[in-house]
Amino acid sequence: MSFKNGEYNVELNGIKHWVKIDGSEHKTRPLIIIHGGPGGNHYTFERTIGPLLTDKRTIVYYEQRGCGRSQKPHSDSDYTVDILIKDFFQLKKWLSTEKVDLLGYSFGGELALEFAYAFPEEINDLVLSGPSLMHSEIQIMIQITGFMSVVNKDLYKQFLLLTKNIFSIDDLYKKIWEMVDTETVDLLLFNNQEIAKKNRQFWEESKLVNTGLMIKALYENPGKIPIELRLKEIRQRTLIITGVFDRNTGVSISNIIHRELSNSSLRLFDKSAHFPDLEETYLFAGTAVEFLES
């Protein structure tokens, strides 16, 4: 198709997906933005860094099945990685373009790696922002220690008691998430708490809710060999951007991905936590565009 700016409802594998095209006048290779969560949406990204990228590139947003403004599948279990890969394939088919670039943030970075692995000839360059490895125990431990590094003294003592009484790391992880409030989650995710407040304002303004169904289904159905063990087979040129204060997926996860990929570079942002696109927006946009155009 010839790209035209606007919002679309595109049926991919029987599910209507919200798709938005912007910057088509540049006639560049499409840069598809892949959101995280799992179960998130693009509302904040569209209104912050999105316009800076659109100044230079043709941008394609889409929200994954059951996420944001896209339709929910009939079954709560229809959220496997394989299904998300099939949805993406249909999206690319709808776009009718030979190759695309990908920018994925958080879980979207992990998903971008899955797409690159699945379609090596059709994905050009990758930009990964604070990418996850959601089935890695290392990431779970990063989040646990991340919470312990930001909570108040009373909650810290409660966490320490949990470590003495709960022997499964998965059970400890679930229990900690049950105990933390929104303020603590913001401390985990952001270095600058003013930016955290703005992010929450966008969440409230959007009226879009993460149902939790996708993350639940993905944990219950991990599927094939984890992407962590297949990274060496991904050949695309890749830029990884990670905040030095990232306590959610962490510099350690980015280092693992960088080490295993055959053609990657790692850029650390020194004022950011998990969302360098929000905390150092102009630097992020400039770095991403420079990489994609080099």
**How does pLDDT run across 130-155, given as a tens digit for each residue?**
999 999 999 999 999 999 999 999 99
Question: What DSSP designation does 153 have?
Answer: H
Structural contact between residues 5 and 23, judged by C-beta atoms closer than 8 angstroms: yes
Query: 1 pLDDT exceeds 60?
Result: no
Q: Considering the domain 6-135+209-293 in this protein, what is its CATH number? A: 3.40.50.1820
> Parallel, antiparallel, or unpaired for β 31-34 and 59-62?
parallel
Structural contact between residues 102 and 123, judged by C-beta atoms closer than 8 angstroms: yes
Buried b (16+ CB within 10 A) or exposed e, 170-181: eebbeebeeebe
**What angle, rounded to 10 degrees, do the helices at 153-165 and 169-179 form?**
150
The pLDDT tens digits of the residues spanning 21-54 come to 999 999 999 999 999 999 999 999 999 999 999 9
Angle of CA points 278, 115, 45, to nearest 5°: 20
Question: What DSSP designation does 224 have?
Answer: S
Query: 61 pLDDT exceeds 60?
Result: yes
Q: What is the mean pLDDT of residues 114-140?
A: 97
Query: 17 pLDDT exceeds 70?
Result: yes
Handedness of CA 25, 28, 29, 34 (dihedral sign): negative
Q: How far apart are CA 28 and CA 76, in angstroms?
A: 37
Q: Of the candidates 78, 80, 89, which has an alpha carbon nearest to the alpha carbon of residue 118? A: 89
The domain ranges of the chain are 6-135+209-293, 137-189
The pLDDT tens digits of the residues spanning 225-279 come to 899 999 999 999 999 999 999 999 999 999 999 999 999 999 999 999 999 999 9
Query: 224 pLDDT exceeds 90?
Result: no
- In the three-class reduction of DSSP (H, G, I as helix; E, B as strand; rest coil), residue 267 is classed as strand
Number of neighbouring beta carbons within 10 Å of residue 59: 26
Handedness of CA 68, 72, 73, 76 (dihedral sign): positive
Encoding tokens for residue 46? 């569209």
Q: 279, exposed or middle or buried, with CB in 10 Å at 0-12, 13-18, 19+?
A: buried
**pLDDT band, very low/low/confident/very high, at 2 (cuts 50, 70, 90):** low
Q: How far apart are CA 258 and CA 265, in angstroms?
A: 7
Q: How far apart are CA 27 and CA 8, in angstroms?
A: 19
The pLDDT tens digits of the residues spanning 161-206 come to 998 887 788 899 999 999 999 999 999 999 999 999 999 999 999 9
Structural contact between residues 100 and 92, judged by C-beta atoms closer than 8 angstroms: yes
Query: 70 pLDDT exceeds 70?
Result: yes
Q: What is the pTM of this model?
A: 0.96
- In the three-class reduction of DSSP (H, G, I as helix; E, B as strand; rest coil), residue 113 is classed as helix
Structural contact between residues 114 and 218, judged by C-beta atoms closer than 8 angstroms: no
